[in-house]
Amino acid sequence: MKVAIVGAGAVGGLLTARLGATEAEVTLVARPNAAAAIRRDGLTMVTPLNRVARLHPRVTDDSLSLGHQDVVILCVKAHALRGTVDTLAPLLGPETAIVPMINGVPWWYPHGQPEPLADRPLRSVDPDGLLWRSIDPDRVVGATTFVAVEGDGPTRIRHISDQRFVFGDAADRDRPVVDRIVTLFGQAGFQPARTADIRQAVWVKLWGNLGFNPLSVLTGATLGRLCNDPGTRDVGRALMLEAKTVAERLGVTFATSVDERIAMAAGVGEFKTSMLQDYEAGRRLELDAILGAVIELAERVGAEVPMMRAVLALVDLRARERRSELAA
């Protein structure tokens, strides 16, 4: 199996290291500076048991050199997907599956769904429909992951905890490639599962991102602190309940309660969320996919989400001020 991993961030690095140890032909597609650094220094991975592994994965900044792949895994931020369109094109053969490993509501979410979705792109994550036109949702194998991983530049990653991945066809079909992907991740030592309802899995993951990532930016607190402090826990819970209402009006049925999901997040411990890591580095935050898209869906189903709107306004201002500070 030929697998291309697009994006040399923390998750992209983890998948490159672990999937690269299987029999699959795995190549990391990175930006020129990151690719050069990895070729020069290799990739260092620190495991949850504090074991250090140094690897020299196959890496390139030229996707045209790879040819068609069986699977392309997108490990970039949701707002950076538009920048991958030209990179993706040379990798896609007639049967290539695309696996977006991204946070928030993905651009493919309305694919094959009834009203009020009905194959209409979400403005918040795909404002002009570029992703919908360029990355065919019919190719997509939806994915969610609960791994906690931190990156320190392009050459060093620290895997904090968890091994779980969930995969499912975006059009709810029984595609053999989904089983092949699950098998590959199992061979890499992860804990993968296949689901017949990938959208439900997206919402369970989104609960944690939506409930606590924005609060981590406002407070600077770790995930464990946010979940265990009574005040921030209540705010996160309120955000999650608003999201639950939106999801249920879209036909999603939850097998997990909000409190169970908070307990799951608390179990990660003293971990800086990816959004807090981005905020501290002055990078753009995934607010559109994690909050903006849910607010847009709330408008489609007629749900009120006042807590979400308030938190989005606060975090957006704080992020803009942070970027101004770093630019001064």
203-250: per-residue pLDDT in tens? 999 998 999 999 999 999 999 999 999 999 999 999 999 999 999 999
- Rounded CA-CA distance 166/144 in Å is 5
* Least-confidence region, from 19-33, 107-121, 151-165, 189-203: 151-165
How confident is residue 148, by pLDDT bands cut at 50, 70 and 90?
A: confident
For the stretch 72-127, pLDDT in tens is: 999 999 999 999 999 999 999 999 999 999 999 999 999 999 999 999 999 999 99
| Averaged confidence pLDDT in the chain | 94
- Determine which one of 2, 77, 205, 244 is catalytic: 205
The H or E element spanning position 267 is none
**What are the DSSP E strand ranges found in the chain?**
2-6, 25-29, 43-46, 52-55, 59-60, 69-74, 92-100, 141-145, 148-151, 156-161, 164-169, 191-194
59 phi and psi, to 5 degrees? -140, 145
What's the gap between Cα 279 and its chain centre?
A: 16
Q: Domain 200-327 is in which class?
A: mainly alpha
Strands 43-46 and 52-55: antiparallel
On the question of pLDDT at 34 being above 80, the answer is yes
User: Which one is predicted more confidently, 154 or 275?
Assistant: 275
Fold agreement (2-196, 200-327): no
Closest CA to 272 of 225, 311, 207: 225
- For residue 10, what is the DSSP state? H
Enumerate the domain spans of the chain: 2-196, 200-327
On the question of pLDDT at 162 being above 90, the answer is no
2-196: CATH architecture:
3-Layer(aba) Sandwich (3.40)
How confident is residue 268, by pLDDT bands cut at 50, 70 and 90?
A: confident
Which residues, 6+ apart, have CB-to-CB distance to 284 below 8 Å? 77, 79, 278, 319
The answer to whether the Cα torsion of 173, 175, 181, 186 is positive or negative is positive
> What's the pTM value of the predicted model, to 2 decimals?
0.93
What are the residues facing 142 on neighbouring strands? 168
On the question of pLDDT at 152 being above 80, the answer is no
Strands 191-194 and 164-169: parallel
The proportion of the chain whose per-residue pLDDT surpasses 70, expressed as a percent, equals 100
- Return the pLDDT at 167: 98
Let me know if 2 is a catalytic residue: no
- Return the pLDDT at 328: 75
How confident is residue 156, by pLDDT bands cut at 50, 70 and 90?
A: very high
- Return the pLDDT at 170: 94
- Rounded CA-CA distance 177/140 in Å is 10
- The full DSSP string for 182-241 is HHHHHHTT-EEEE-S-HHHHHHHHHHHHHHHHHHHHHH---HHHHHHSHHHHHHHHHHHH
